[in-house]
Amino acid sequence: MPDEQALVALADELGQQIPGVIATSYAHGKARLTVEPDRTAETLLALRERGFRFLASVHGLDYYPQEPRLSVQYELLDMDALDRITVTTRVTVDAPNVASVTPDWPTANHQEREVYDMFGIVFDGHPDLRRILMPDDYEGHPQRRDFPIGGEPVIFTHNENDVPGWIK
């Protein structure tokens, strides 16, 4: 069972030790560190040394209309203590760059590519940063909150003559 006090103490301790930790908090059974984008990899490695050796997931978020608007969240697990911690960083749409953690955390490879594809966050130093879900020539990032809603008509054999000419 996660120890709330231990996680709060760990988050606060790391907040004091690592330059660039902006805020610490505890909610819903896990601690959260908010860090500057250029300190993300360093923070994750410090947590690895503390037992959080499993990078469970990398998520993108869009806080439109707030700035900085885009966010990357890293979920780490300590499998021995059954604890988890979230590391969050935020970037602007104009400079959506975060250092890739793939060299230290190979499991982040495809997850960073998905965040890049869906949100447009660029992971500097990623070994193969390209679209993973959308076609290579697709324009835009579908998970951003300002992305146009409505979708694209799908052409089937029963409606191929009814589809507007601009699609063909």
Is pLDDT above 90 for 25? no
Kindly state the average pLDDT of the residues 154-164.
65
Q: Which domain holds residue 88?
A: 4-124
Residue-wise burial string across 95-116, b where 16 or more C-beta atoms lie within 10 A, e elsewhere: ebebbbbbeebeebbebbbbbb
Residue 82 burial (CB count, 10 A) = 10
Is pLDDT above 70 for 3? no
Residue with tokens 């500097």: 124
The count of domains in the chain is: 1
pTM equals 0.84
- Mean per-residue pLDDT of the chain: 87
> Is residue 99 in a domain?
yes
Each residue of 57-94: pLDDT tens digit? 999 999 999 999 999 999 999 999 888 899 999 999 99
> Is residue 63 in a domain?
yes
> Is residue 149 in a domain?
no
Each residue of 89-126: pLDDT tens digit? 999 999 999 999 999 999 999 999 999 999 999 999 99
Predicted local confidence at residue 113, as pLDDT: 98
> Is residue 67 in a domain?
yes
Predicted local confidence at residue 155, as pLDDT: 61
| CATH number for the domain harbouring residue 24 | 3.30.460.80
Of 149, 9, 159, 158, nearest to 83 by C-alpha is 9
> Is residue 155 in a domain?
no
Each residue of 120-146: pLDDT tens digit? 999 999 999 999 999 998 889 999 998
Contacts 24+ apart (CB under 8 A), 108-111: 108/55, 108/58, 108/74, 111/57, 111/58, 111/59
